[in-house]
Amino acid sequence: MKFQTTKDNLLNELLFINRSLVSKPTIQVLNGVLMEANKLLDIYATDLETSIKTTLEVDVIKEGKILAPIKLLTSILKTFPEAKIEVELLSEKNQLKIACQNAVFIINTYSIEDFPQFPEVRKGNQVSIDSKRLKNLISKSIKSVSTDENRPVLTGVLIEISNNIITMVSTDSYRLSLAKDEIDYSNSLLKAIIPSRVLDSILKTDLQSELVEINIDENQISFNIFQANNKAQNLLIISRLISGKFPEYKQLIPSSFKHTIILDRDRFLEVIRRVSSISQDNIPIKLEATRGKVNVSMSIKGVGSSSENLDVEYGGEGIEIAFNPDFLLDGVSMMDDKQIVLNIEESLRPALIKQNQKENLLYLLMPVRIS
């Protein structure tokens, strides 16, 4: 095997793979990246839960394949200037030679026979979506993912596709994020729980893609991401799904509220950030609503206090409620409309943040008891 390309062309793909997979796999061979040169260069990597294949256009001089240690290869490439590199398999010793200008590295490789077989894409339930819309859905819905590995279903994002609507939901039991969009799909309901790490990887892709093909099977999901201006260059991510029952999120969202407050999104964000600038140890931020106004405040014993009034559309009776300031910021920033709605039932019941004009984004947030 022998090919030539630029340093960044190869390095960027390896960095993406490094970010996307488990950093310290228990099996040594999983520290490797399989590179196979034919007309194009196919790069394979896996941590047994998630598998990635990326395809690059390179100048293939000799076909072949090799399994190289990804972290060592990445470290070497980072030291090179942005210039042409040559990568060659030295067959007699099964070593990899990497050359750039006057620099030459020769490193040992792993046995290809020990590398797991790359999973097949099971094309059963397939949908396609514009990549920008998919990334937008992920960025909105992933906000409430739990980090508690004792409840694995909450570490993922629920995806539901039916009646030409795609819905993505996450919850950590303290809050819930929901995002919807239109999609061309009218068959039976598709439903799966996707590991959040996989979706986070999709957010970080650099490919300027027009289209993403999603295939959902009983225990795996795949995302095939095509480069917009180069169909030969694409990225395939295959992941196991999380098994278990996701909470019945529709039952968690109240259908009515006693108090409805309409706020300017950007102004509300500014006030929350300003007032919570003294925040320590998740001290709650308090909202006190009266007619036409919301007072946003925080008080920390031994430190001080902050407060600011915000003009709003509200004509109801007075109500006080408090939230984790970071969680509140996540919910408000998730919205796209200029005006947002804060629905409150009682001081200790979940509040709902949504857009004033559209119903495609919802954020349910548990309040904090005010001492």
2-114 and 125-248 in the same fold: yes
| Cα–Cα distance for residue pair 174/43, rounded to 1 Å | 40
Mean pLDDT, consecutive 10-residue stretches, the chain (371 aa), reads: 96 92 82 95 94 94 96 96 96 93 96 93 87 94 95 97 96 97 91 95 79 91 81 84 95 94 98 94 93 96 93 95 97 97 96 94 95 69
SS3 state at 188: coil
CB 58 within 8 A of CB 5: yes
pLDDT at 208: 67
Residue 107: how many CB atoms within 10 A of its CB?
Answer: 13
Q: What is the pLDDT of residue 253?
A: 95
Q: Is the distance from CB of 76 to CB of 48 less than 8 angstroms?
A: no
CATH of domain 125-248: 3.10.150.10
- Residue 317 tokens read as 């009776």
Paired strand residues for 60: 3
CATH class of 2-114: alpha beta
pLDDT at position 26: 79
* Model pLDDT, residue 305: 93
CATH number of 253-365: 3.10.150.10
d(CA 328, CA 368): 11
Q: Domain boundaries in the chain?
A: 2-114, 125-248, 253-365
User: What pLDDT is recorded for position 23?
Assistant: 73
**SS3 label, residue 194:** strand
Element (H, E) at 12: helix 7-20
Question: What per-residue confidence (pLDDT) applies to 230?
Answer: 63
Give this prediction's pTM.
0.90
Q: Which two tokens stand for residue 296?
A: 């946003």
Query: How many Cα atoms occupy the beta-carbon half-sphere of 293 within 13 Å?
Result: 7
